[in-house]
Amino acid sequence: MYPYYRIQEGGWDVDVANKSMRDVQLVIHEFDPGCDAYVEKPGRKLPVDVLWEEVDVDLYDGLIIPGGRAPEWIRVDDDVRRITEHFFARNLPIALVCHGAQVPADYGLLKGRRTACFPPITRDMEHAGATVVDAPDVVDGNLVSCRGWPDMPQFGRVMMDVFSKSLVTA
């Protein structure tokens, strides 16, 4: 959710895309000392602006792929693939949050690229040919990524820098 607001703060319009026009249910991942993994709680809802199948990629300057469990589901959609491949092919700014790296990795787009990701999916990224860097923000050209929500303060600044530089020179 932080990148959604941070990009708007930078002066860009943001469209939320989804398979259906139903609101996107966000979740909060918290680390509970009594659990081995994070606990998922309902968060805010975001209204959807456009269907994936209706996204005209030429109207957009950048792409943010969210984290959490969404990438498990969205990466199998042909329109998500079309959208993602467009931004990679044109070296437009792309932000990957947490599990978001699963989407381009599934399409072979992270091969030879440096990325951060949520630590439990490191092996998946390496199998996809990515070099995983354990840092709060990793920049590889037009691509900026982070491990998860604890990285947001630093990641937000770097994401804005990558998007600003890419869009000025594009």
Active site residues: 99
- What six digits make up the tokens of 120? 């439990």
**How many other β-carbons are positioned within 10 Å of the β-carbon of residue 107?**
15
State the DSSP code for 44: E
Q: Distance (Å, rounded) from C-alpha 92 to C-alpha 11?
A: 17
Distance between CA 46 and CA 124 in Å, rounded? Answer: 29
> How far lies 84's CA from each of 35, 44, 45, 143, in Å?
34, 25, 23, 12
